[in-house]
């Protein structure tokens, strides 16, 4: 296999269990991770999620309670909350169309494309649309995990929380959003993290990959 910095970074990163509460991720590194999230590709370019960056200690403590007391939420310096649209609406898709028109000009095919998207998405059940939006947020999570590793910032992807409680804490329903995933950022506590010395566990490529040649 060709040597790959990316693979080295993916081996370096791990779902950190214990972060050093005295260390803070510098703004320039945070900016890179956020920009990587912003640049994430999404279905039809709708980017149907928002990112909430939480550093307020009281809010972090409340979220931690809603997440089984996971320590990384308060030991990390920043908590990224990926919050997906609760539904697709005409207005939301029109905003995407406007963004396209502003960047690329008022091409007839653009309007036709997004009109078609609206007629397909908007009548669907809100839960189906939310699930689709949440999948886009997961793509951004993957990109964020890689970006954090590239910046030598530790992170822990988290599904282990009560989304309805986090929605309430952050007033997300009022904004038509639902929390999907949490990502604390910080620095590993090298002597205090039981997971750090452990080997990575991954299926073999033979198990996971098949070829149709
Ligand atoms: C979507 C997702 C949700 C996860 N939820 C949690 C969680 O709530 N708490 C936690 O400590 N780890 C969580 N993990 C970490 C996984 O257990 C971990 O990524 C996996 O075992 C692979 O190990 P590694 O990330 O250390 O390489 C989650 C990972 C993903 C991708």
Q: What is the pLDDT of residues 116-146, one digit of tens each?
A: 999 999 999 999 999 999 999 999 999 999 9
- The domains of the chain are located at 6-88+124-208
Full-model pTM: 0.98
CATH code for residues 6-88+124-208? 3.40.109.10
Q: Which two tokens stand for residue 48?
A: 């149907």
Spacing, Cα 177 to ligand 1 middle (Å):
23
Given a contact cutoff of 8 angstroms between Cβ atoms, the answer to whether 184 and 79 are in contact is: yes
> 163 C-alpha to center of ligand 1: Å?
17
**Confidence (pLDDT) at 184:** 98
Cα–Cα distances in Å, from 25 out to 28, 105, 157? Answer: 8, 39, 16
Confidence band of 108 (pLDDT split at 50, 70, 90): confident
What residues are paired with 186 via a beta bridge?
154
Q: What is the mean pLDDT of residues 10-20?
A: 98
Q: How many helices (H) and strands (E) does the chain have?
A: 9, 4
Contact 69 CB / ligand 1 (< 6 Å): no
Query: Does 158 sit in the ligand 1 pocket, CB within 6 Å?
Result: yes
Q: What is the pLDDT averaged over residues 195-209?
A: 97
Gap between the Cα atoms of 47 and 59, Å rounded = 26
């Amino acid at each position: 296999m060709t040597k790959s910095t990316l693979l080295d970074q993916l081996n370096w990163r791990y779902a950190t269990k214990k972060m050093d509460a005295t260390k803070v991720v510098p703004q320039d590194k945070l900016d890179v991770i956020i920009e990587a999230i912003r640049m994430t590709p999404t279905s039809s370019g709708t980017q149907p999620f928002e990112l909430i960056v939480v550093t307020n200690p009281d809010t972090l403590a409340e979220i931690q309670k809603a997440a089984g007391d996971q320590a990384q939420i308060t030991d990390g310096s920043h908590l990224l909350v990926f919050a997906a649209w609760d539904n697709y609406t005409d207005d939301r898709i029109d905003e995407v169309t406007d963004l396209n028109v502003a960047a690329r000009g008022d091409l007839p095919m653009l309007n036709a494309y997004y009109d078609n998207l609206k007629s397909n998405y908007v009548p669907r059940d809100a839960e189906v649309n939310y699930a689709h939006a949440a999948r886009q947020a997961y793509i951004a999570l993957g990109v964020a995990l890689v970006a954090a590793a590239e910046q030598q910032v530790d992170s822990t992807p988290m599904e282990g929380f009560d989304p309805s409680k986090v929605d309430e804490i952050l007033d997300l329903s009022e904004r038509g959003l639902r929390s999907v995933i949490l990502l604390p950022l910080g620095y590993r506590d090298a002597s205090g993290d039981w997971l750090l010395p452990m080997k990575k566990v991954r299926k073999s490529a033979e198990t996971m990959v098949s070829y149709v040649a």
